[in-house]
Amino acid sequence: MAKKTRIPIPQVNKVRAILQQEVNSKCPFCNNEDVAYFEIHHIDKNPSNNNSDNLILLCSICHKKADNNEITFQETNDVKFKTKSNNSSVQFISVTIDSENCGWEPIVDVPNAFKIDNTNKSAFPILNFNFINNLDKTILLTSVKLISKILPIGLSGPAIIDNFLKPSPFFEMKISHNGTIENLILKDELIILPKMPVKIQILLYSQYEEHIFSPKGKYVLSFNFKFNNDFWKDIPNVVLNCKSENEKLQYIGYN
Binding interface with Zn ion (CB under 5 A): 27, 29-30, 32, 59, 62
- Please name which of 244, 255, 243 lies closest in space to residue 107, comparing C-alpha atoms: 243
Residues 121 and 99: their CA atoms lie apart, in Å, by 9
Of 12 and 30, nearer to Zn ion (C-beta) is 30
- CB 202 within 8 Å of CB 129: yes
We find the least distance from the C-beta atom of residue 62 to Zn ion, in angstroms, to be 3
Of 65 and 115, nearer to Zn ion (C-beta) is 65
- Please state the separation of Cα 188 from the chain's center in Å: 19
We find the least distance from the C-beta atom of residue 67 to Zn ion, in angstroms, to be 13
- CB 43 within 8 Å of CB 80: yes
* Number of helices (H), then strands (E), in the chain: 3, 14
SS3 79: helix
DSSP code for 12? H
Of 82 and 243, nearer to Zn ion (C-beta) is 82
Of 27 and 116, nearer to Zn ion (C-beta) is 27
- Please name which of 30, 57, 28 lies closest in space to residue 42, comparing C-alpha atoms: 57
We find the least distance from the C-beta atom of residue 82 to Zn ion, in angstroms, to be 15
HSE at residue 179, side-chain half, CA atoms within 13 A, is: 0
Of 64 and 145, nearer to Zn ion (C-beta) is 64
Phi, psi of 181 (to 5 degrees): -90, 125
Question: Which residues sit opposite 202 in a β-bridge?
Answer: 127, 171
- Please name which of 211, 227, 140, 143 lies closest in space to residue 181, comparing C-alpha atoms: 143
Of 39 and 189, nearer to Zn ion (C-beta) is 39
We find the least distance from the C-beta atom of residue 97 to Zn ion, in angstroms, to be 43
We find the least distance from the C-beta atom of residue 22 to Zn ion, in angstroms, to be 14
Of 41 and 121, nearer to Zn ion (C-beta) is 41
We find the least distance from the C-beta atom of residue 32 to Zn ion, in angstroms, to be 5
We find the least distance from the C-beta atom of residue 134 to Zn ion, in angstroms, to be 29
Measure the CA dihedral 188/232/193/167, to 10°: 50
- CB 165 within 8 Å of CB 125: no
